[in-house]
């Protein structure tokens, strides 16, 4: 009786582990696909970052120029 319960418990655990493993495998595949970045998108991202730095520099100069002119 105990042995039969243990066997059914083991089967259930094995089935759950199998399902979890397959779900994990699918999620990893989806994540890899989602994280793949197109080379053009990478270039666009770099350009946008450079523009952001330039615009931040211009904003600082304007602010410094405006405060210097007011004084």
Q: Which of the two residues, 62 and 11, has the higher pLDDT score?
A: 11
pTM above 0.75, yes or no: no
Radius of gyration of the chain (CA): 29
For residue 67, what pLDDT is reported? 66
Helices assigned H by DSSP within the chain: 2-35, 39-70
Mean pLDDT, the chain, rounded, equals 84
Task: Delimit the domains of the chain by residue range.
Answer: 1-36, 39-71
Pairwise CA distance, residues 69 & 34, whole Å: 50
């Amino acid at each position: 009786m105990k042995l039969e319960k243990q066997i059914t418990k083991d089967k259930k655990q094995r089935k759950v582990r199998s399902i979890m493993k397959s779900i994990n495998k699918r999620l990893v595949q989806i994540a890899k696909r989602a994280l793949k970045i197109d080379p053009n998108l990478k270039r666009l991202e770099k350009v946008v970052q450079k523009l952001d730095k330039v615009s931040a520099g211009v904003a600082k100069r304007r602010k410094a120029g405006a405060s210097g002119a007011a004084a």
